[in-house]
Amino acid sequence: MIWKRSRSIVLSSLVLLGAVVMLSWTQRWFTITLQDEVSVEVLGSDVAGALAALALSTFALVAALGIASVTVRRVLGVIAAIVGGIIVAVSQATLADPARAASELITEATGISGIDSIRSLVVAVDGSAWSFTALVAGVLIIAIGIAAAVSARHWPTATKKYDRTTTVIADDPASQWDAQSRGLDPTEG
C-alpha cells in the first residue's frame, strides 16, 4: 500500500523541502555583534549562496523524477541524496565558523580584513533557527533521495493507452506521407 503512494510522497516531500531550503536562504541566519556595539545582520544568501542553486536543482529533480524510467529514477534518487548532502555540508560549514562565513560583511562594516583580525572583533554571535532549518532539510532530502532510489520500481509507469501505432503501407502514398509527418522514415522496416 505504501509503495503505491511512495511516488507522490517522494515528489511532494522534495518540493516542500526544496521550498524550505530556498526560504531559509532568504532569512537571517546570524546577528554578529562586534566591538563598539556594531551589529552585522547575516542572511543565508550572504553566507550560503549555493543553497539557492541547490534548492532549484531539487525542484528540477522533482520534474525529472515524475517522468523518468525506473533506472533513471534510481539514478535521480541518488543525485537527490547527493544534493541533500551538499546542502548539509554548506549549512554545516557556515554553522561551524560564522565569523569566517560572514568575513566579507564584517570587512564591509569595519574596514578590517584578515580572518584573525575579524575573529578578534567578534563579541557575540546570535544564531537563528533558519541555519538549522536548512541543515535539517538537507538531511531529509538525503533520506527522501534514498527512498526514491529504493522505491522507484514500485512507482506507476506511463501507460500505452494513448500511444499510436503506425503502420506504413509500402504502396500507399498517403500512408507514407502520414509517416513522414510524424517524423518516421517510411523506407525503414
- Predicted confidence (pLDDT) per residue in 23-44, tens digit: 999 999 999 999 888 889 999 9
User: How confident is the prediction for the chain on average, in pLDDT?
Assistant: 86
Q: Which residues, listed in sequence order, are joined to residue 42 by a DSSP beta bridge?
A: 30
- Asked if residue 84 has pLDDT above 80, the reply is yes
Q: What is the pLDDT of residue 168?
A: 57
Q: What is each CA distance from 58 to 20, 25, 40, 132, 141, in whole angstroms?
A: 11, 14, 31, 18, 9
Q: What is the pLDDT of residue 112?
A: 86
- Asked if residue 49 has pLDDT above 60, the reply is yes
DSSP label at 127? Answer: E
- Asked if residue 187 has pLDDT above 90, the reply is no
Query: Where do the domains of the chain lie, and which CATH numbers do they carry?
Result: 2-158 (1.20.140), 160-189 (no CATH)
pLDDT-derived band at 55 (thresholds 50, 70, 90) equals very high
- Asked if residue 4 has pLDDT above 70, the reply is no
pLDDT tens sequence across 85-128 = 999 999 999 999 998 999 998 888 888 888 888 888 888 899 89
Q: What is the pLDDT of residue 1?
A: 47
Q: What is the pLDDT of residue 163?
A: 53
Q: What is the pLDDT of residue 146?
A: 94
Q: What's the rounded mean pLDDT across residues 178-184?
A: 72
